[in-house]
Amino acid sequence: MPVASRQMTREQLLNRINQVSFAVNEMTLFLDSHPDNEEALAYMEEKSALRREALEEYARRFGPLTIDTANDTCSRSFEWVSQPWPWEPRQKGGSR
C-alpha cells in the first residue's frame, strides 16, 4: 500500500475501503453481462488489489474488518474484540 495510505486516519482508511469495495461490486455486476471486456477485467483486478491492500492495512492498524484479514499476524490473537467496531467513534484511551 502506498505510504500515503499508511498515514490515513481510521476513518479515512475505512472510507477508502468503502470506495474501492463499491468499484469492485459495480465491476462484478458489469462483468456479469460483459465477461469478455478486457478493460473492465483489468479495472476489476486493479480495484480488487487496492481493496485487499486497504483491508490488510486496516487490519494491521485497527483490527480486521473481514474474516479474510482475521489471522494471528494482523489481528493480535483476537484482540480485535476489544477494539471499537468500524461504525463506532474511537474513544480516547483506545477501548470501546
The pLDDT tens digits of the residues spanning 3-47 come to 455 688 999 999 999 999 999 999 999 999 999 999 999 999 999
User: Could you give the residue ranges of the DSSP H alpha helices within the chain?
Assistant: 3-6, 10-33, 38-62, 72-75
> Rounded to the nearest 10 degrees, what angle do helices 38-62 and 10-33 cross at?
150
Q: Note the pLDDT of residue 4.
A: 59
Q: pLDDT tier at 93 (50, 70, 90 boundaries)? A: low
pLDDT digits (tens, 9 = 90+) for 35-87: 999 999 999 999 999 999 999 999 888 888 888 777 655 545 556 667 777 78
pLDDT at 7: 84
Confidence at 96, pLDDT banded by 50, 70, 90 = very low
C-alpha cell at 78: 483476537
Q: How far apart are the C-alpha atoms of 81 and 87, rounded to whole Å?
A: 14
